[in-house]
Amino acid sequence: MSDYDEIRARIRALCEGETDEVALMATVACELHHSDERFDWTGFYRVVAPDLLKIGPYQGGHGCLVIPFSRGVCGACARTREVQLVDDVEAFPGHIACSSSTRSEILLPVFGAGGRLIGVLDIDSDRPAAFDSRDAEALSAILADVFGHL
């Protein structure tokens, strides 16, 4: 299980003073991915046009490049602007399977200043029901630290 306090402090230190969104996403994806063995794919999808996401920095196997807000768990997160906790991806209507080994996911909106939706953070696990509200709260706090002022 992640020691989120330690990860949060490390990410804050690494990102201190940086404002480039891609550099920040690359750093966050790397640190989160290597912090927890539950995380088999860790990455961002960026809002590049109204109702359209494109892949950003990630760790893990190939991720699909483009996702409209109308599709997948990523699209649901972007559409609703709410965390998506998916215990069983096969039970999620319209789930987009970038890997056949994925069993559960957590999706978090990434907000900038004034509630601007920058993108979403997608973490996939090969374990069923790998994520819970503790992950949602801790990861949301990390994202707010890094992106909330941009």
Binding site for ligand SME (CB under 6 A): 41, 63-64, 67, 72-74, 95-96, 98, 105, 122, 124
Longest CA span, the chain? 41
Per DSSP, what are the bridge partners of residue 59? Answer: 42
67/142 with CB nearer ligand SME:
67
CB of 67 to ligand SME, least distance (A): 6
CB of 23 to ligand SME, least distance (A): 20
Residue number of the CB closest to ligand SME reads 72
Calculate the CA dihedral of residues 93, 97, 103, 104 and round it to 10 degrees. -70
31/105 with CB nearer ligand SME:
105
Cβ count near 73 (within 10 Å): 23
CB of 132 to ligand SME, least distance (A): 18
Residue 14: its H or E element: helix 4-15
CB of 41 to ligand SME, least distance (A): 5
CA-wise closest residue to 129 among 72, 89, 76, 100: 89
24/120 with CB nearer ligand SME:
120
8/76 with CB nearer ligand SME:
76
CA-wise closest residue to 63 among 101, 99, 92: 99
